[in-house]
Homo-oligomer: A and B are copies of this chain.
Amino acid sequence: MPQTMTSADLRIHNQVRLLRAVHDAAEPFTRAEAARLLGIGRNTAAALVGELEQARLLHEVPAETSGRGRPTTLLVPHPQGPLAFAVDFREDTWTLAAAELGGAVTELETGEHDRTPNVFAEIRAAVARHETPRLTVLGFATSGPIRDGHRLHISHLGWDEVELGELIGPDWPRTVIDNDARLAGLAEARRGALRGMGTALHFHIDFDIGGTLLLAGDAQRGGHNIAGEFGHMPLSGSTLRCMCGVQGCWSLDVGANALIRRFGEAPGYGAGRELAQEVLRRAEAGDVEAGAALDDNAAALGKGLGALANALDPEAISLSGLGVELIRLRRAVIEAQCVEALMEFRRNEPPQIVAGKLGGAGPLRGAAEVAWDAVLNADWVKARLTGGR
């Protein structure tokens, strides 16, 4: 029972609702619209916004008039307001960006790295180079599961059980870290192809398949923060043994490894991704063998999606990574196999299978979302309003 409620908390509560609305909105809205949206009076809205402007959280700019009525103002993030930084930490590169309230993201810096934990110091240095008093919270996207929120398993870097505390020390700004596939899904749910869905799934297809279940715009984390390893269910009938230790994983039939295995290439990271791209190119050019590889990949993908849809009943499923190419080149195969894997009574209403709208920016955008989530709450807003900082 956390949320105690006094009259004073009421004010904060409504201010958080207002900030959340501004953050989540696709387009900025006016103060009068905000009052209607929140179901409060215009006078109350004026008071709320006034305090938030004072705290440099919101800013009012004249709205271009449309129709009759007294002109009003648009509610936008304050130009000197708080900033969230977001980091997308990839196999051999990283990107640092700044995200305003409302979701606007500007890239600050990118770099390569040597695959050792030193990269975290590099990233910290990059953050320092762009440091500003506006920096409030940092969202960090990395691949691999993060057990209990603090133990990293990044297999393609050979990091087995790296303690987060040794990488992100007390000299870091307040930091929220999460899995990249999960964050990409969250970004699609908040600002992409899954916007407004009550139940949806997102999968990032690379060498592996990672994903997340999205409920009312929130990514599910599981009991130990390691939910989302959908690629390690036996959904497509493979008999091979997977690197994860399990036999028959879906990931063995879908993604880059499956694509290149048929051409005698060993599964692996690094060069494998280029090989997979080469297979895609050849398939697109009409190469029969490459086309068959693509067909198999798409078929296994569809089969798994259908099975998952039976259990979880998503309104839509979005894909990123290789999934985008698979949809572009083999949508029919995916959908046919998906429907075949659906229980008969569901087949007249299959889940939409769509390409993610955010492309490669998904993890970064998702990192910005969780960073803001960590801050858009009663406690932080209250402190900001009273303390001044």
| Chain A interfacial positions (CB closer than 8 Å to B) | 1, 3-5, 7, 10, 13-14, 17, 21, 37-40, 145, 147, 153, 197-200, 213, 215, 220-230, 232-235, 237, 244-246, 248, 303, 306-308, 310-316, 340-347, 349, 351
Q: How far is the CB of A298 from chain B (nearest CB, A)?
A: 17
Q: How far is the CB of A207 from chain B (nearest CB, A)?
A: 15
Which residue from B1, B223, B229, B244 sits with its C-beta under 8 Å from A199?
B223
A-B contact pairs, 28 of them (CB 8 A): A1-B38, A5-B13, A145-B345, A153-B345, A199-B221, A213-B312, A222-B312, A223-B314, A223-B315, A227-B313, A228-B311, A229-B310, A229-B313, A232-B310, A232-B343, A233-B235, A234-B234, A234-B235, A234-B303, A237-B248, A244-B343, A244-B345, A245-B343, A245-B347, A246-B306, A246-B342, A246-B343, A246-B344
Do B235 and A223 have beta carbons less than 8 Å apart?
no
Residues of B within 8 A of A347 (CB): 245
Do B7 and A14 have beta carbons less than 8 Å apart?
no
Which residue from B10, B234, B244, B303 sits with its C-beta under 8 Å from A10?
B10
If A147-B345, A234-B341 are given as contacts, then 5 extra A-B residue pairs at C-beta distance below 8 Å, sorted by A number, are A153-B345, A199-B220, A199-B222, A229-B313, A232-B307
- Contacts A343-B246, A344-B244 given: A39-B1 contact, CB under 8 Å? yes
- Assembly CA distance A220 to B21 (angstroms): 25
Q: How far is the CB of A225 from chain B (nearest CB, A)?
A: 8
Q: Tell me whether chain A's interface is mostly helix, strand or loop, or mixed.
A: loop
- Contacts A38-B1, A145-B345, A344-B245 given: A227-B311 contact, CB under 8 Å? yes
Do B5 and A311 have beta carbons less than 8 Å apart?
no
- Name A239's closest neighbour in chain B (CB-CB): B237
- Assembly CA distance A199 to B4 (angstroms): 25
- Assembly CA distance A197 to B17 (angstroms): 28
Do B237 and A234 have beta carbons less than 8 Å apart?
yes
Which residue from B145, B215, B246 sits with its C-beta under 8 Å from A220?
B215
Residues of B within 8 A of A343 (CB): 229, 232, 244-246
Which residue from B14, B200, B346 sits with its C-beta under 8 Å from A226?
B346
- Name A7's closest neighbour in chain B (CB-CB): B7
Residues of B within 8 A of A306 (CB): 246
- Assembly CA distance A232 to B311 (angstroms): 7
- Assembly CA distance A314 to B226 (angstroms): 9
Which residue from B3, B17, B246, B307 sits with its C-beta under 8 Å from A234?
B307
Which residue from B223, B233, B308 sits with its C-beta under 8 Å from A313?
B223
- Assembly CA distance A213 to B346 (angstroms): 19
Do B234 and A39 have beta carbons less than 8 Å apart?
no
